[in-house]
Structure 1
Amino acid sequence: MLTELENPAEATRIQRLKAMTEATHDRLDKRIMAAQPFASKERYAQFLNVQHGFHADVAPLYAAPELNRLLPGLADRCRFKAIKQDIRDVTSNEPGEIAGRNGELDLPTALGWVYVAEGSNLGAAFLLKEAIKLGLSEEDGARHLAGHPSGRGLHWRNFVSAYNTLPLSEEDEIKAAEGAKAAFNRVHGLVEEAFA
């Protein structure tokens, strides 16, 4: 929680957001690992369905002009097309058309969702290693887990730098944290559906 930071006033916006959402994030990580999404290609295909559902929700945010003004290059970070191609690679099926469930989000809430999507890309380095064990690669079946050509760490640091300078109030930061929690909970729900 925020109070667990040594000095919340000196923490960066991303550090505060991470602290406010840590419990929800940890709960999701444990649920995903319990589902054993890399135990087989069949289970990985179910994991791709989870990714497909979540990224259908966030893809419109990546295209939003206001978010791209605040976070330059955001549109180029969207992984929705890569996930659809991964589904084709792994299942030989055409991914179904699904509409995102976000509707109109206020800006701080949308930023919370984007934070979750971008953070998942940082964590994808570990998942890519597991996918490779299934015979998949950044060119076949695990495109959405690939790092950025300039490097995963640099890509994340650039995002964090832009995020930390956003003109948000304390109330906005709380809304962003609620948005991030909603995003983590959305993925949790998708995992429950896919691996029930």
Structure 2
Amino acid sequence: MPETASPTPLLVVSNHFAGRPRTSLRSVLKAATAADHADLDATLGTIDLSTLAGYRRFLEINAAALLPLERALIAGGVRKLVADWDRRARSRAMLADLAAIGGSVQPLDPPAIADRPALLGTLYVLEGSRLGAAYLLRHVDRTANARIRAATGFLRHGTGEQLWPSFLALLERHAAELTDEDDLIVPARRAFALFATAASQP
């Protein structure tokens, strides 16, 4: 999911920079989290999603990070920032999938999400994971195991609703507020780290 790289200079939209090219916040976050993303993808890529045990393990890892992060986002005021948050939240879908395949949830302790940049940085990771989910869904739908195919609410969540493009538009609308790119990057990397911690648990 994530990655790490040298911070990319962020040209904040303001009167001072009016008319000049600006690095998109998506590009800044993508570059800064690339190594984290690659490491997590490599770890999760070792799980065989065609077996019930493997798919259960995959969901349990994601649930251990997703559920506390979504709770932290709510506590941090995500509903004031994202009007359609309830349409985006995936905890309910995740819990339903786990119940269907006999999985369990052991939520990790989430980082504090105290301001708007932290909300956006964390949302970048969660909303971006929909792209990977769509890719994995194509493989899971081909498995012979009917229980697995019936427990894909998390992977299927938001299909066809353009949630990722609309999040990116929201992200860029707040570019002018940023004074330090690390205010976005640090919470994004912390979110990736929580998924990595979940994947490292036995």
In the superposition, the TM-score normalised over structure 2's length comes to 0.79
Residues 66 and 19 of structure 1: is their aligned pair in 2 closer, same or farther, counting only changes over 3 Å? same
**In 1, Cα distance between the equivalents of 2:97 and 2:6?**
37
2:183 is aligned to 175
Residues 71 and 137 of structure 1: is their aligned pair in 2 closer, same or farther, counting only changes over 3 Å? farther
**In 1, Cα distance between the equivalents of 2:83 and 2:139?**
31
**In 2, Cα distance between the equivalents of 1:130 and 1:178?**
32
Deviation at 1:63, TM superposition (A): 2.9
Deviations 1:24-56 (A, max 9, x none): 1111111111x2241411111011111111112
2:154 is aligned to 144
**Aligned residues of 2:65 and 2:107 also touching (Cα < 8 A):** no
**In 2, Cα distance between the equivalents of 1:48 and 1:102?**
18
What is the identity, as a one-letter code, of the residue corresponding to 1:118?
E
**Aligned residues of 2:127 and 2:163 also touching (Cα < 8 A):** no
1:87 aligns with 2:98: yes
**Aligned residues of 1:62 and 1:77 also touching (Cα < 8 A):** no
2:34 to 22, 32, 46: 22
**In 2, Cα distance between the equivalents of 1:113 and 1:22?**
15
Which has the higher Rg, Structure 1 or Structure 2? 2
**In 1, Cα distance between the equivalents of 2:198 and 2:25?**
28
After superposition, residues 127-166 of structure 1 pair within 5 angstroms as 127-134=136-143, 135=145, 140-148=150-158, 151=160, 154-166=162-174
Moved more, 69-78 or 41-50: 69-78
Gaps of 5+ in 2: 13-20
Residues 130 and 177 of structure 1: is their aligned pair in 2 closer, same or farther, counting only changes over 3 Å? same
2:163 is paired with a residue whose SS is helix
Residues 186 and 22 of structure 1: is their aligned pair in 2 closer, same or farther, counting only changes over 3 Å? same
Identity %: 21
1:46 is aligned to 57
**In 2, Cα distance between the equivalents of 1:45 and 1:99?**
15
Two-structure CA RMSD over aligned residues (Å): 2.8
Task: Name the count of aligned residue pairs.
Answer: 186
Greater fraction helix: 1
